[in-house]
Copies of this chain bind each other. A is one copy, B any other.
């Protein structure tokens, strides 16, 4: 074994360590539940029974409750005192609130473009490229994740891990709204061209134009979702 090998081994170990630390039972349970909620297997409004779920997942009620708390903080579940936890069911008011937040954060982040690191700037265009490639292969869920990645990349322009976290939560909550209104196929595709346009503006340092395009995006997407949820 050469010393290079040894170094590699140590580095690999260090990478894995994050997974090891994350191995709390509650977090693994939370991962399972999160996937179920975001994939729509557990439907918005549905109650999560502690005993029943605990029996299925083979964990104690205490551990399960901790997982609930994690997801409650991510706004995927809501807790009603003495009643239990339910999958969040966003209504149109939530959408209005959410887009008010997105408008501020993402447009604010756009303004930080001149100060952003090159690597972060590049990630914006890469998300656009990924979306185009996915569309070329008619991989529509791929287009959806690329769209989300685009907006995360824009947020990352600000250079704040805390802001990135919050945006992650907001986008996850948005995904819940899709499930409420029956996840309209082709929702994300409409905005593919718009993302490309925004990215192009940015690379030319046309902040004003990028901001307006983004603002346009928010107006249309919000209206789309609000009208969709009004019908519920």
Residues of A within 8 A of B (CB): 21-24, 62, 65-66, 69-70, 73, 75, 80-81, 97-98, 100-101, 103-105, 107-109, 111-112, 158-163, 166, 170
A39 to chain B, nearest CB (A): 23
A107 to B158, CA, bound (A): 12
A41 to B162, CA, bound (A): 26
Tell whether A107 pairs with B101 under 8 Å between CB atoms, given A81-B21, A81-B23: no
Q: Provide the residues of chain B in CB contact with A24, threshold 8 Å.
A: 81
Q: Provide the residues of chain B in CB contact with A158, threshold 8 Å.
A: 100-101, 103-104
B105 touches A104 (CB 8 A): yes
Q: How many chain copies?
A: 2
Tell whether A101 pairs with B160 under 8 Å between CB atoms, given A23-B81, A73-B73, A111-B107: yes
Q: Which residue of B is nearest A79, CB measured?
A: B24
A218 to chain B, nearest CB (A): 12
- Listed by A's residue number, 5 A-B pairs whose Cβ atoms lie within 8 Å are A98-B160, A100-B163, A104-B104, A105-B108, A108-B109
A209 to chain B, nearest CB (A): 16
B73 touches A163 (CB 8 A): no
Q: Provide the residues of chain B in CB contact with A107, threshold 8 Å.
A: 108, 111
Q: Which residue of B is nearest A97, CB measured?
A: B160
A111 to B158, CA, bound (A): 17
A78 to B111, CA, bound (A): 32
A88 to chain B, nearest CB (A): 12
A108 touches B98 (CB 8 A): no
Q: Which residue of B is nearest A159, CB measured?
A: B100
3 closest Cβ pairs, A-B complex: A108-B108, A104-B108, A100-B160
Q: Which residue of B is nearest A166, CB measured?
A: B166
A23 to B73, CA, bound (A): 18
Q: Provide the residues of chain B in CB contact with A98, threshold 8 Å.
A: 160, 162
